[in-house]
Amino acid sequence: MKTIIAAYFQNRSGSRASIQAALHTLLTVPWPSQREFRACIQLLSVLQWVLSFLLMGIVFLFLLVYLVFTSFWPVSALYFAWVIFDWDAPEQGGRRSAWVRNWPVWKHFRDYFPIQLVKTHSLLPGHNYIIGAHPHGILCVGAFCNFITESTGFSEKFPGIRPFLATLAGNFRLPVFREYLMSGGLCPVTRQAIGYLLSQNGSGNAVAIVIGGAAESLSCQPGVTTLILKNRKGFVRMALQHGAHLVPAFSFGENDLFRQVVFEEGSWLRGIQKRFQKLVGFAPCVFYGRGLTSIQSRGFLPYPKPITTVIGEPVTVPRIKEPSHETVDLYHAMYIRSLLKLFNDHKAKYGLSERQRSAWISPAHGTCWY
């Protein structure tokens, strides 16, 4: 018995010593600095955004379908009934939420890169506008941050203007994800949705359209900006039909966020990408970014590169219900000149050299800046 008692107290003494040693080790480990903690929060804010856009719609679709075969089937039934009733909401202005646009997470998202919005001219609340956003990049990070959140102060810089960002209409067919998109001010990139905002939603609306679309993302690579613009004239025709002024916007640094394997024009792999893009609406880019553990690792998160979105001078557009091809070409050329001026006036200030110039390339692409 004495031996057992002695062993018991010896074991307790050893355990106490082990706990004390572990606590001492824990206390000697340096705690993350405020800067490291802030960087971690910023990284997590970007992670949630990427996962939201890549997975939210699919996850909720499968979840609601799964619930149909469980005792929770009324949840799916009620939501799908709501979607049928609310089917046209995205085409009719959606449901913007100031609360969602001002979530604190967006400030951490902004600071990760960082992203800033530069105003060069005022936008008057008495007019409506179509903002041409360039370039597309891989995920349109600059356009999202500046037009869908208030983290860069869009409403402060342009008082009385309500920004919207047009995206693929298919995104609004995914359950729950559609509510998330509409809450920030995203709308389908369709004539009906954009026309509603420009003609039936009062004045002071600014609809941002990424003119190059998914096709432009296939040519996205650091150091080279290729814009698919020369034959994109539908946005000009819509501006004329509704009397909406055209505003160029350029996001310097957008193409530096990811590395992409760019396939040669005419190659069979590029052909597959283009066919897929025409069928589905988005281009299957082969790209990579940084990993979650370090900036040296590879993953699907964007690199922390600065993005500066500059809003240029509006091109005044008259209202013409049925504009001729010549009129559309005229204002399209005026828009391109305004965009070129915006690029050349700010390229040196935001990371490009004065020697970098603009040049026309094949009509299949549009304008290319080297």
93-114 pLDDT tens trace: 999 999 999 999 999 999 999 9
By residue count, the chain amounts to 370
pLDDT at 282: 65
Q: Give me the half-sphere count of Cα atoms (radius 13 Å) on the Cβ side of residue 281.
A: 8
CB-based contacts of 304, cutoff 8 Å, min separation 6: 112, 113, 290, 295
Per-residue CA distances from 284 to 53, 141, 178, 263, 332 (Å): 15, 17, 22, 12, 29
Q: Does the structure show a pLDDT above 70 at 198?
A: yes
Which range (148-152, 165-169, 211-215, 339-343) has the least confidence? 211-215
Q: Is the dihedral of CA 196, 199, 200, 206 positive or negative?
A: positive
Cβ neighbourhood burial of 103 (10 Å; 0-12, 13-18, 19+): middle
Q: Rounded to whole angstroms, how far apart are CA atoms 186 and 139? A: 14
DSSP secondary structure code for residue 267 in this structure: S
Pick 118 or 280 by higher pLDDT. Answer: 118
Residue with tokens 């949630």: 48
Q: Rounded to whole angstroms, how far apart are CA atoms 201 and 93? A: 7
Q: What does the block give as tokens for 32?
A: 């993350």
Q: Rounded to whole angstroms, how far apart are CA atoms 234 and 81? A: 35
CB-based contacts of 206, cutoff 8 Å, min separation 6: 123, 128, 129, 130, 131, 147, 158, 161, 162, 163, 164, 247
Q: Does the structure show a pLDDT above 50 at 8?
A: no
Tell me the β-bridge partners of 307. Answer: 115
pLDDT at 100: 97
Q: What does the block give as tokens for 76?
A: 């799916």
CB 115 within 8 A of CB 107: no
- Label residue 301 by pLDDT band (50, 70, 90): very high
Which range (208-217, 228-237, 266-275) has the least confidence? 266-275
Rounded to 5°, the CA angle 240-241-243 comes to 60
Q: What is the mean pLDDT of the chain?
A: 87
Give the closest residue to 136 by CA, choosing from 107, 110, 161, 166.
Answer: 166
Q: pLDDT per residue over 61-95, tens digit each?
A: 999 999 999 999 999 999 999 999 999 999 999 99
Q: Is the dihedral of CA 49, 346, 209, 95 positive or negative?
A: positive
Which helix or strand (DSSP H or E) is residue 369 part of? Answer: strand 366-369
pLDDT at 280: 65
For residue 357, the tally of other CB atoms under 10 A from its CB is: 11
- Label residue 4 by pLDDT band (50, 70, 90): very low
